[in-house]
Amino acid sequence: MAGLVKIIAVDIDGTLLPSVGAAVSRRNSAALTEAQAAGIEIVIATGRRQAFAMPLLAPVGLRPETVLITSNGTVTRTLAGEAIDRFFLPVETARALVPALRPFGMTVFTFDHEGPGELVLESLEQAHARISLWVEANRASIREVRPLERAFDSGEAPVQGMVCGGVEAMRRAEEWLVASELAPQIEVHRTEYAARDLTILDILPRGCSKGAALRRLAERRAMGRENILAIGDNWNDLEMLEVAGQAVVMANGAADLVELARQRGWEIGPGNDEDGVAQIVESVLAGSRV
């Protein structure tokens, strides 16, 4: 095994995936499977839910026991579906979020079961206007509930809330959330695409993040941060990057995160359209990292 790196944690969108298309490249796939063969644990950490991530990961050829951190850290399972961790937003917290977020943009809640109702929103038309590709890809899992507050009448708790909209509107929403009475009950993670004027705010149970999930996994493996290399491109990767002894931010990442990486002395890796993940993993396998 090369150097001290024993776990490589990789984001999907903007990191493992190219800017256009929904297929992991051959080079990225080969690098990840070769790292596993060399005894390095590959961890995939994404804001996507498991059902939305699996079609992308299945062709890569990772082992069934590969750990998949989903919904930005609220659910952790293996690719084979073995449960590791799962956390919920309290029902009353989720219900209170609905009227609070309605003025800012479109709100979606994720429930941890497959099929219709896994994703619940108030207006499919509103969602389609803002994130049409996401709607088309997830249509079979979406259920409209009006008003959205009624989504919790059964007592089932969601694992994740999401509100999306323009960059400035979502920054105002984030500022409001972190200053609100709900703040002690939630975590807020931002994924920002300035070129598309689109920001996704994920609202999670308190203490949840990709980084927290990765830290718990490392502790189970009796590994320290010096054994972890993390690769990401956006603000929802921040805690994961902070957990790692070696943090790599993709060159195509959010501009202010790339700048933060420079300030902290983190590595700026090649871009996602240059098979940047493969280049980084290959350097580990070549023994050029310690």
Rounded CA-CA distance 141/187 in Å is 24
**Per-residue pLDDT, 290:** 58
Percentage of the chain exceeding pLDDT 90: 90
- Side by side, which strands form the sheet with 75-78? 83-86, 75-78, 67-70, 41-45, 7-10, 228-232, 246-250, 267-269
SS3 138: helix
Percentage of the chain exceeding pLDDT 70: 98
Establish how many alpha carbons lie within 13 A of residue 138's alpha carbon, considering only the half-sphere containing its beta carbon. Answer: 28
Tens digit of each residue's pLDDT (9 = 90 or more) over 50-77:
999 999 999 999 999 999 999 999 999 9
Rounded CA-CA distance 214/8 in Å is 10
**Per-residue pLDDT, 105:** 87
**Per-residue pLDDT, 125:** 86
Q: Who contacts 42 (Cβ-Cβ below 8 Å, separation ≥6)? A: 7, 8, 10, 32, 35, 36, 62, 66
Tens digit of each residue's pLDDT (9 = 90 or more) over 230-261:
999 999 999 999 999 999 999 999 999 999 99
Rounded CA-CA distance 44/66 in Å is 8
SS3 247: strand
Region 2-13: mean pLDDT is 89
- How much is the mean pLDDT over the chain? 95
Q: What are phi and psi of 190, to 5 degrees?
A: -105, 135
CB atoms within 10 A of CB 222: 7
Among candidate residues 110, 76, 81, the one with its CA nearest the CA of residue 210 = 76
Q: What residue has token string 């943090």?
A: 247
**Per-residue pLDDT, 24:** 98
Helices within 105-237 (DSSP H only): 124-130, 132-138, 167-179, 210-220
pTM for the structure as a whole = 0.95
43-47, 104-108, 128-132, 157-161: which range is least confident on average?
128-132
Structural domains of the chain in order of their starting residue, each with its CATH number: 7-86+208-285 (3.40.50.1000), 91-205 (3.30.1240.10)
Rounded CA-CA distance 271/139 in Å is 30
Helices within 7-166 (DSSP H only): 26-37, 50-57, 91-101, 124-130, 132-138
**Per-residue pLDDT, 2:** 44
SS3 269: strand
